[in-house]
Chain A
């Protein structure tokens, strides 16, 4: 059982480049989300999805796009990388239980540096 798999683990981009961070889960979780974590800070929600074909914006969506064509995959696209997007990116998934919460399972993260 792999859980939540993120690729790549590390990436260096030049300003203006685009790329896609991959996230896949094998737990049949309805809910998936992307967070970014800057040094010494908490996790800020970028985008999330409560099921295939459904996505919505989080707290800091600008500069990022997502899609959810399958239950398993939730890629995050950086449209035109900026130094302000240097961060650690975490993908998370869980059962979508409404009022109840069974906890998010996080991937191991992608450390992105934009130069």
Chain B
């Protein structure tokens, strides 16, 4: 089976940097994705890492270490609108079956 672990809650102040970690156990690993979901909204895709290393998209970066079964999402220059839930998801060789973590609720304070 597949399992993912990520912290349930993270709090940070506006302008700060925050890192949300995700560790996973899965067979036939292809890659790790990150999604953002605001309260009452639908998840939106942020990034995907299929190879080790850092992927940067504006204020957001995502990192993957396949040997450590670990990844993280880095959010820089935090803004109030970044308050949301963030989910990591693993994709494996059965490309249709992606597994999502339970999410990390990020609260950005002024």
Main secondary structure of the interface of B (DSSP, over half): strand
Q: How far is the CA of A49 from the CA of B97 in the complex (A)?
A: 10
- Please determine whether B48 and A101 come into contact, CB atoms closer than 8 angstroms: yes
* Of A41, A48, A99, A107, the contact of B103 (CB 8 Å cutoff): A41
| Interface residues in B1-47 (C-beta closer than 8 Å to A) | 30-31, 33, 35, 41-45
- Please determine whether A43 and B91 come into contact, CB atoms closer than 8 angstroms: no
- Please determine whether B95 and A96 come into contact, CB atoms closer than 8 angstroms: yes
Q: How many residues of A contact B (CB 8 A)?
A: 30
Chain B interface category by residue count: 20 to 34
Q: Which 8 A-B pairs have the closest CB atoms?
A: A103-B45, A42-B100, A106-B42, A43-B100, A48-B96, A42-B102, A101-B48, A106-B43
The 10 sampled A-B contact pairs (Cβ below 8 Å) are: A33-B96, A42-B87, A43-B100, A49-B96, A90-B43, A99-B50, A100-B48, A100-B50, A101-B30, A101-B31
By a beta-carbon cutoff of 8 Å, the part of chain A in contact with chain B is 31, 33, 35, 40-45, 48-50, 56, 58-59, 90, 96-109
